[in-house]
Each structure stands twice: as structure tokens, then as C-alpha cells.
Chain A
Amino acid sequence: MTEPLLDVRDVEVRYPGRGLRSKGFLALRGVSLDIREGETVGLVGESGSGKTTLGRAILGLAPVTSGSITYRGREISGLPRRQRRTLSDQIQVVFQDPYSSLNPSMTIEAILSEPLTVRGGAGREARDRIAELLDQVALPSDAGRRLPREFSGGQRQRIAIARALALEPRLIVCDEAVSALDLSNQKRILRLLTEIQEDSGVSYLFVSHDLAVVRHVSHRVAVMYRGEIVESGDGDTVTSDPEHPYTRRLLLAAPVPDPDLQARRRRERAALAARENHERTV
């Protein structure tokens, strides 16, 4: 048995509060998770559950106050900036908002060449790589000279994916990567991500609030609630026959696009709520 690509053990993240005596805000309370090569792990939860914080902790953007995050056996939490930077060709990110994740005053070419210049790619080489990347995410080759605002939400998300792919990372954290997109674009982007994975064997940590999306792309799924992982396991099981009451509530809360099924789900949800209420009062 080989070790996982990324191993998160008992990670706690506490954001400092204002004032000296404030204890700060505990965003993650001892979270453990592992991701293997070529695998997609879905991380689902509601706002404030800590799912985004976990992604940011892995990216080195959130303060890990205890626990460990190891990448290929090497501890990467709390690395100084200089050493952290050497991980940029291993771990990358695609953010939710395709509007604020691209600098509006830079051309697509400048955005995509940014990670390449870090590695010290020469002009010619970088240009070839950019053409390759644009092709990989199915954008026209003349896109490089244009500005982000000339693109639609779905296209911008393709640009963000191209930027993440530039250094051929082994793990990409997708933080609500399709949440801001329309249905049809959402499906297209998910297909693109899956294809890239099948070609390159990259792993994804797929953070989303949408159980249906997570179910669609993930091999395994973990459910977060109030800074903890309450349930994790095989994607199909967790998203269709969950054990934890919170996951069940989450599953039943999402309306299904079928009037009769939804009416049934509504009754099940009411029954579950009544049962929980009953248990609480007894």
C-alpha cells in the first residue's frame, strides 16, 4: 500500500480574533482526509462549515494551528513562503468566482504566463505552452490577447482552469469551481475537469455546497458540518444512503427536479424533522 498523495491529519485552523483576549474563530476542529493519485475527493457542506477553509489550509492560505498536512510524505503546513512557493507546480487552485479570480486589467496571456514566469520559462516556450493550455480548455487560440471581461462566466472558468494547469500540478483544489455557472456550463466544465483527470491523472479536492455536483464528479465524498467532517466514504453511498443525520438532512433538503419525487422527498423530510424533534424532546 502506497501512501496517499495528500494526507490531512487532525488539522485545526483558528483565525485570530480582534483584541488580545479574543480566542479567535475555530474554523476547523481536527479534520482528517486523504487524497490518492488520480482521485477526486468531494467535500460538501453548507456555508460556514469550514469546507473552503480546508481547501485554503491545503493551499497554504489559511493558518494551520495544529495537526499536519503531508504531501507525498512531506509536511507542508506552516512552511515559510519561500519554501511554499516551490510547491506551486504540485498543488494548484480553481476558485469559485470567475470574475474576481482573474485580474481584470491583465490580458489572458499575461494571466496564463504568470505561473510560467515563476518557473522561468523563456518567451517562446511560454507562448507555446499558453497556446497548448488554451487548446486544452477549448478556448480559441486568439483568446490570449483579450481581457477577462470579454469572456462569459463559463469561459472565464476555463481560463482559471488553464492557469491552474499551467505548471502541470498533481493536485488541484476546486473551490466551488462550478457554483457560479449556469446549468449547461456547469456540466461542460465538470466534463472538462473529468477529461483532464483521465488524461493526466491529476487529483482533485472538489469543494462544493451542491450534493448533486459532488456526487457527479467524486470518487469519494466527505461531508463537513461546523468545522468537522461528519461523514466520509464512497461517493455513491454518502450521497444516496448517508448514515449521519446531518447528511440525511442535507440530502433531503435539496429539491429534486421532478414534481412527484420532490413531493415524496418533502414528506420524508417532514417525517425526519418530526422524528428529530421527537428525539430531542424525549
Chain B
Amino acid sequence: MTQETAARRHAPGRGRGLPARLLANPATALSLAFLFLVTLVVFGGEPLAPRDPNHSSLHDILVGPGGDYPLGTDGAGRDVLSRLLVATRISVLAALLALAVALLLGVAGGMLAGYYGGWFDTVSTWLTSLVMSLPAIVVLLAARAVLGPSVWLSMAIFGVILSPVFFRLVYSLVSSVREELYVDAARVSGLGDARILGRHILAVVRAPIIIQAAIVTSTAIAIQSGLEFLGLGDPSVPTWGSMLNEGFANIYRAPMLLLWPAVAIALTSVALAVLANTLRDELEGGARPAGGPQTAEDGPRETAHAPVRHRPEETGTGRELLSVRGLRVGYRTPAGVREVVHGIDLSVDRGEVHGLVGESGSGKTQTAFAVMGLLSRGGRVLAGSAVFEGNDLLAGGEADRARVRGRGIGYVPQEPMSNLDPSFTIGSQLVEPLRVCLGMDRRAARARALGLLERVGIPDPERTFSAYPHQVSGGMAQRVLIAGAVSTEPALLIADEPTTALDVTVQAEVLDLLRDLQQDLDMGVLLVTHNFGVVADLCDRVSVMRSGHIVESGPTREIFRDAEHPYTQSLLDSILDGGSARGPLAPTDRKDVDR
């Protein structure tokens, strides 16, 4: 699923532009409007100030709002409105200074360290950890003591302290993108590093940086106001924090003084937080692909013809173990329910291996998942039944189905590694179902698990039992999963591409193992695969799926010998195995090589 999440990360929804989508959310629209107002004040507010913000008039101390002073005056007789306008400019610009310093250090450092690695990586990571371990307030107090009271200086220093936020964000994104094949492809294309960083890497880190910037700016405003409120700022420079300080000093005589800077700080912080949230939703969560599996890619859609059935009289022999009738599976999408399996019939007899073949998107895995009740989110069975030993697996509650699944049906997945929990030993993962499903005690379950590991051909069962999944190879992990699947001696084994992730020599061994176990335990097997070699090796019967329909079904030999449906024929024609080799490079092919 990495590519899917990658696509999600990189691709904001198309259609409407980002500004339009941001404005569609009322809270965000209000926030943006407020931030726009703040911006206007920052750049055009000073000339609007009716008076010099530092001019104190001893006749007008603590005058209430109205008249000459729209917002009144403070304890030194200074015009509050003028001070608020100028303070907005200074507070916001100082916060932006912190942001700029943090961005410059963090983004540049993170990109270089993540992309090049090496000594720069080591040094900058160490420095980042050092900076992160420093308590910000203490550093800022010390800086004020040494360098004097300046909101600009303290915010620049705070920017350095904040830079690890960006460094770590960018560093982790860049080091993961650097491994992407498209970056390799760009290098092979002859692009220089600067261009790769600009085109491929910056594009990935842009959205997270913007979101983080909104958060960091509001942090800077809060810290700055805190420092100034403590009275550590330059008294001649009005800021929101120093106005708070002033208001606090006169809180009993003129409580309104506290209100204006507090409102400014709170609203700016809230607006930034709301904006950051919406940006995150829009930039990172936008364009979420519709739920559900992919659909068939090329070729026309299959119309609902009845499947070609070889020897249909053989069904209903009384040996039927699993009988699927009229199964329809659909996924919820914004445009309604999309059906991916269009009413198929399928049966697996006792002791029979039934292959379900098809290309990606044909619905074969969805069919198997539906039978087991493992459809991914948004998916559900729309119609049909799947009768297993007299019980309909698709009716009834989840609890009933879970009981049948645990004892009667075993499952071997495609990716062995992702189906073992990395934080538990292999042994404990094998023992648990034995204890839960079969009610064995600890000792018996352990003995049984060791026996199973030996049975599936693991050379040193004791060691594998106490190993963690990452300590064994993919082939061994698949053997472990097979051991787990057959541990309850199920009557039916559902194997979803059980050898696709394995090397071909390991695949051969795993196929041998599956055949042995199937014969020993007389299991019915539903084998989902795209590989006709695997079908030829294991299956007694085959059903060929395409676009959610079964197009042909019959005994394996007959399907290989005389497939009737054109799709089956075209699939068999695409097989390269057993075809002729290309042969050596003929001299005529070599126009400019004379040998």
C-alpha cells in the first residue's frame, strides 16, 4: 500500500483550487479573513495610529474608551489604539522572524542532511538533539540578561530553538523520498542535485512545512507574549505582551486594558490553529482514493454471460465442502456502491484443490475475502450465500462466523511478513489460536506448535518457536503461517497467492508442502493465484475470473487442453513458460558490429 499512501501524500485533490476549498469551510474562511485583517494592520497600521504610541500625556491617565481616545489610555497616559496598532505590527513581525529563522535552519538543514547523509547528517542531527534538549524559556531569559531586552533578538533565538521541529519533519520526509525510484530515475536522467531537490523533494515536503509553519507561528506569538508579559521586553517598544503587562498592572482600575491585547493574541492563535488544521486536511488528506480494490485495467468490461462450465454434472456430488452461490461484493464509494464481484457461483469439494485464477482487479481476492468475512473497510457482501458444512458463512453474526473461521477454515495470506505481528515471538502467535480455538492448555499447545513447525519442514523448530518474525526468512515465515493455518486441522484452507512473494526455489518447496498437507489432512483448498504454473502444479479444478465474473470453470487438464472462453485462451497464450527462446544475436541484427 505504500504507493497508495504516497499518492495520497503527494496529490492534493484536483478540480477546485486550494483557496476555493479552504474558503468553503466557514471556520477557515473566518480565520483567513481575520489573518488578512492582521496583515493589513501589520503593513498599513502604523500611519493609521492617531498618536505616537509612546507619547504619554500625564493629563489623560487611564481614560476610558471614547472621545479622543477610542480605546482609552493606559497607566502612563498613552493611547491604547495607537499602541495596539503598532504592537500588532511588531508582535507579528517578530513571530514571523522566529518562523523565518526556524524555516531557514530547519528546512535547509533537514533537506541537506536527509538527501546527502554522511557527516553533515551526523553533525546536524547531533546539534538538533542538543537544541531540543535546551529549555527554551531559560535560554531566552539568559539571552535577555546578556544581550539586553529586544523582542527581535529574542525571537531570532527562539527561531533557532524551534528549528528542530522543521529539521526533523523535513529530514524524515526527505530520507524516505530519497529511496523512491523516481529520484533514482531523475538521477539517471542526468538531473543535478539542486534540480532534484527543487523538483522532486521540495514538492513532497512543501505541504507539511506550510502546516507546521502555521503552528510554529502561533507558538512564537505565545512565547513572545509570555516573555513580554513578564516584563522582560524593551519598555519603549509596544508589543501585545507588554500591553498585557501594562493592563495587568492596572487590572483593578481599568480591566478593559487587558482585553485588547488578549483578544489579539487569542484570535491570532486560534485563526492560525484552524488554518493549520484545514490545511492538513486539504493538503494531506485530500484526494483520498475511493475505498476498495482496483478494478480491471484494460479490455472491455465483461458482460454477464453464463460461464463456460466443463462437466457441470460433477457439482453437487455430495462431497461439497464450500458452496458459494450468487455472491456479490461491493465497495462504498462517494458515487455509490461499486460492485466488484457480480454474482458468482463456486464450489470446493472435500479434499479438492480449487484454483481461482485471474489478473489483478478480477475480483478473485475479494471473493476469497468475502467468504472469510475479511473484506477491507467499505466493502460488504451485497447478495449471495457461502455454505460451509451446512452453515451459511454470510448470514449470522460475526461471532458465529469467527467460530467457524477459527476451527473450520484456515487462511494462508500472500505476504508472510506483514501477517505476522513483529512484536510477538512466532511461538506465541502459533500457541494462541490453539488455546483459544481448541482450548488446549499451555503445555499441550506448545508441544503441538513445535510439532507443526517440524511438520512444515522448519529445520530447528525450537529456535524458530522462540524467534521473532524478522529473524526468519520470507520462505520460513510462509511455512510458519501455513503451520498456523493448519493447526486446527481445518476442513478448508483458503490460500491467497501463497507463493507470489517468494523466490521460485522457495515457491517450489512451499507448493510441495501445501500438496503434502492437503493430502495428509484431506483438506479442501481454495487457491487464489495469477500463476498458471501454480495452478498446474496443485489444482484439481480451476475457475477463471475476469472483471468480477467467472468466465470458465472445469477440471484443470481440460482448461489447459481446450479452454473455450476467448479470455481463458488469451491468458494461456500470454504464458511465456515453455515458449521458444529468442536465440543468439544474429549477425544481420548487428549493423555496426562486425564479428
Contact = CB atoms under 8 A, between A and B. Distances in A.
Contacts of B298: 152, 154, 184-185
Given A93-B185, A212-B577, A46 B503 contact: yes
Interface stretch (A6-14, A22-30, A128-136, A252-260): A252-260
B576 A38 contact: no
B478 interface: no
B264 interface: no
Nearest to A59: B188
A185 B576 CA distance: 12
A215 B575 contact: no
A241 to B, nearest CB: 11
Interface residues of A, number: 86
B584 A234 contact: yes
Interface centre among B203, B359, B512, B537 (most CB of A within 10 A): B537
Interface in B168-189: 180-182, 184-189
Contact of A105 (B191, B203, B505, B512): B203
Given A85-B192, A100-B3, A100-B181, A259 B582 contact: no
Given A104-B10, A216-B582, A250-B504, A88 B181 contact: no
B532 A257 contact: yes
Nearest to A147: B11
Interface string A164-180: 00110000000000000
A262 B538 CA distance: 10
A39 B577 contact: no
Interface residues of B, number: 69
A63 interface: no
Contacts of A232: none
B593 A36 contact: yes
Contact of A61 (B188, B189, B193, B289): B188
A235 B504 contact: no
Contact of B297 (A37, A147, A154, A240): A154
A38 B189 contact: no
Interface string B552-575: 000011001000000000111011
A184 B571 contact: yes
B506 to A, nearest CB: 8
B188 A92 contact: yes
Nearest to B586: A219
A88 B189 contact: yes
Residue of A39, A87, A103, A147 with most partner-chain B CB within 10 A: A103
Given A40-B582, A256-B577, A262-B536, A103 B200 contact: yes
B11 A216 contact: no
A239 B289 CA distance: 42
Contacts of A215: 576, 579, 581-582
Contacts of A32: none
Contact of A93 (B3, B6, B188): B188
A97 B503 contact: no
Contact of A103 (B182, B530, B534, B594): B182
B590 A36 contact: yes
Given A100-B6, A149-B11, A234-B584, A216 B579 contact: yes
B520 interface: no
Contacts of A190: 576
Interface in A231-282: 234-236, 239-240, 249-250, 252-262, 266, 269
A228 to B, nearest CB: 17
Given A163-B189, A218-B582, A100 B182 contact: yes
B589 interface: yes
B3 A118 contact: no
A182 interface: yes
B585 to A, nearest CB: 4
A257 B190 contact: no
Given A1-B595, A105-B10, A258-B560, A217 B189 contact: no
B531 interface: yes
Given A95-B184, A255-B508, A266-B537, A103 B576 contact: no
Given A1-B594, A103-B10, A149-B289, 7 more contacts: A60-B188, A93-B185, A183-B575, A216-B582, A235-B584, A239-B581, A256-B536
- Closest 7 CB pairs between A and B? A88-B190, A255-B533, A152-B297, A99-B3, A257-B532, A236-B581, A253-B508
Interface of B: 2-3, 6-7, 10-11, 14, 180-182, 184-193, 199-200, 203-204, 289, 297-298, 359-360, 503-505, 507-508, 511-512, 530-537, 556-557, 560, 570-572, 574-585, 589-595
7 contacts: A93-B188, A95-B184, A99-B3, A114-B191, A163-B189, A210-B576, A255-B531
